[in-house]
Amino acid sequence: MIINKFIARLMGVAMVLLLPFGAYAERGPFDTERWYNILDSVRTRAINNGISNDTINATLKYPVFIPSIVKSDKNQAEFKLTLDGYLARMVNSRRIAQGIEMRSTYPTLLSRVEQKYDIQPHVILAFWGLESNYGAYRAAHKLTDAFLTLMYEGRRETFFGNQLLALMKIADDNDLDINDIHGSWAGAMGHFQFIPTTLQQYGADGNGDGKIDIIHSVGDAMFSAGNYLHKLGWNPNEKIVRRVALPANFDISLLDGKTKLPLTNWANMGVTNPDGTPIPIADMTAGLVADVNAIQEQRAAAIAAATTNQYGTPDPNAVDTDVAPMPVIYAYLTYPNFYRIKKWNNSNWYAIAIATLADELKQ
């Protein structure tokens, strides 16, 4: 046993040494002792949680540190797209056409999800489309290595340690080969990009084989997504968002979705449908979300246009900036389902994209 352990560690060191020189610049030279302390900790936790020796050994036999994952974690791109740009990218004609095709491909399965969880087909399809492009996204990383790498990196060692332990438990409970489970660098996997702890809590068997495999089974993936949305309190009788128009001088500090008021209040503040007709009123609260940066740029452009001449220089006869004509503001009323989506992904843009794609996929 001691010899086997020594050989395994020697193989692990050899794999680390094959990685690009300089990959560990921010931590300094690769800390082999830290790496193996992490592996030993994982083994101990797994044993204490009743995970089988087969799964433990498969996880820890030939672990690989992946420098590109550390780079991704430290250099996550700042969100810079405008709302319109984000929607154009995420809800394009190709994705809509693919969603319509998937609806015709899986009508029975989508109907079963709706009957069991009360989640409409177009909603399931919208999440599927945004999360993995209807399963076309191919994950690049073996998740055991991804989680071990992120544990070593240390910024969220406890979180990723919990994800790895959950993944090992999932593999054990569902007789899955843990080395065949791939996902994103951050650990999301399958058609709906669940992390392991979410899958543990909401995973559901959709094809009746007694296992939950959200990577290879569309049925399991859809049932798990339906169960998750159902547990979040999804209401199939409510809209997600409504596009509206606001008065030109509307207070943009109210447009982050955090201020929730009765619909009558919003109507009294001048919120209308885009064509100027009154918004529907119901006994419920809603927020308002808009691209505040874009609105500020539009207002600045309107003031500049009103206070400069044709040569682009200040015009002494220009109107006062306080009365310069401002553009109409367009925003989204955000109903309770919107905030349920944000428990899935805490992004206003994402929730609006789900709503927009779902509307496009309605029958």
Q: What would the pLDDT profile of 320-333 be if each residue is shown by its tens digit? A: 545 556 677 899 99
pLDDT at 324: 55
8 A C-beta contact, residue 89 and residue 124: no
Rounded to whole angstroms, how far apart are CA atoms 5 and 7? Answer: 5
pLDDT tens-place string over residues 2-37 = 444 444 454 454 455 444 434 444 556 888 999 999
Q: Is the pTM of this model over 0.85?
A: yes
Beta bridge pairs of residue 68: none
Q: Please state, in angstroms and as integers, the Cα–Cα distance from residue 363 to each residue in 100, 226, 263, 339, 360, following that order.
A: 9, 19, 27, 24, 9
Residue 201 tokens, joined: 């809590």
Residues (pLDDT < 50) of the chain are 1-8, 10-11, 13-14, 17-25, 321
Name the burial class of residue 159, with classes exposed (0-12), middle (13-18) and buried (19+) by CB atoms within 10 angstroms of its CB: middle
8 A C-beta contact, residue 335 and residue 286: yes
Residue 334 tokens, joined: 């955000």
pLDDT at 26: 53
H or E segment at 7? Answer: helix 2-17
- Grouping H, G, I as helix, E, B as strand and the rest as coil, residue 25 is coil
8 A C-beta contact, residue 167 and residue 181: yes
pLDDT at 76: 58
Beta bridge pairs of residue 246: 329
8 A C-beta contact, residue 286 and residue 260: yes
8 A C-beta contact, residue 229 and residue 119: yes
pLDDT at 73: 72
pLDDT at 310: 57
How many residues are given for the chain? 363
* SS3 readout for 37-68: HHHHHHHHHHHHCCCCHHHHHHHHCCCCCCHH
Please provide the DSSP assignment of 290-309 as one string: --HHHHHHHHHHHHHHHHB-
Q: Please state, in angstroms and as integers, the Cα–Cα distance from residue 35 to each residue in 27, 40, 60, 91, 157, following that order.
A: 13, 9, 11, 42, 12
pLDDT at 21: 35
Rounded to whole angstroms, how far apart are CA atoms 49 and 53? Answer: 11
- Grouping H, G, I as helix, E, B as strand and the rest as coil, residue 194 is strand
Q: Which amino acid is at 333?
A: L
Residue 338 tokens, joined: 């919107």
Rounded to whole angstroms, how far apart are CA atoms 162 and 151? Answer: 10
Rounded to whole angstroms, how far apart are CA atoms 60 and 81? Answer: 40
pLDDT at 173: 95
